[in-house]
């Protein structure tokens, strides 16, 4: 596992890409590709922000991205299955924790 202070946005993108075997997936597509870190942290999928922020501070465990990698979630008035869905295996908890820690570290570039 990478330490939060050494994890960068490119590492998060790599974790997500590896989870879907670099394929174009689902109806939301690979939303982490082709965007900057600043675009990613304000990204919405189906009307739901993917990162949770309180008092201008990002919170990893409360972020819908982290939650949906662990289990089904309710967000934006909808119910969504654990991701990645379909033919892909769930992401290992240590990698999900790396993403959560990166968010808690305020999403370093």
Q: What is the pLDDT of residues 39-64, one digit of tens each?
A: 999 999 999 999 999 999 999 999 99
CB-CB neighbours of 49 under 10 Å: 16
Separation CA 65–CA 96 (nearest Å): 9
Q: What pLDDT is recorded for position 2? A: 53
User: Which residues are registered as beta bridge partners of 54?
Assistant: 57
DSSP state for residue 44 in the 8-state scheme:
E
Q: At 52, is the secondary structure helix, strand, or coil?
A: strand
Q: What pLDDT is recorded for position 1? A: 54
Mean pLDDT of the chain: 93
Q: Which residue has the tokens 């790396």?
A: 98
Q: What pLDDT is recorded for position 97? A: 98
Tokens of 5: 């202070």
Tokens of 65: 């991205």
What's the pLDDT band for 28 if we cut at 50, 70, 90?
Answer: confident
Q: At 62, is the secondary structure helix, strand, or coil?
A: coil
Q: How far apart are the first and last CA of the chain?
A: 18
pLDDT digits (tens, 9 = 90+) for 63-74: 999 999 999 999
């Amino acid at each position: 596992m990478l330490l939060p202070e050494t994890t960068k946005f490119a590492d998060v993108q790599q974790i997500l890409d590896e989870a879907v075997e670099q394929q174009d997936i689902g109806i939301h597509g690979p939303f982490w590709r082709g965007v900057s870190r600043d675009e990613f942290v304000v990204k919405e999928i189906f009307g739901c922000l993917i990162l949770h922020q309180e008092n201008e501070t990002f919170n990893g465990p409360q972020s819908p991205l982290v939650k949906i990698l662990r289990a089904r979630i309710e967000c934006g008035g909808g119910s969504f299955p654990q991701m990645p869905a379909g033919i892909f295996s769930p992401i290992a908890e240590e990698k999900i924790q790396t993403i959560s820690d990166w968010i808690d570290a305020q999403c370093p570039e």
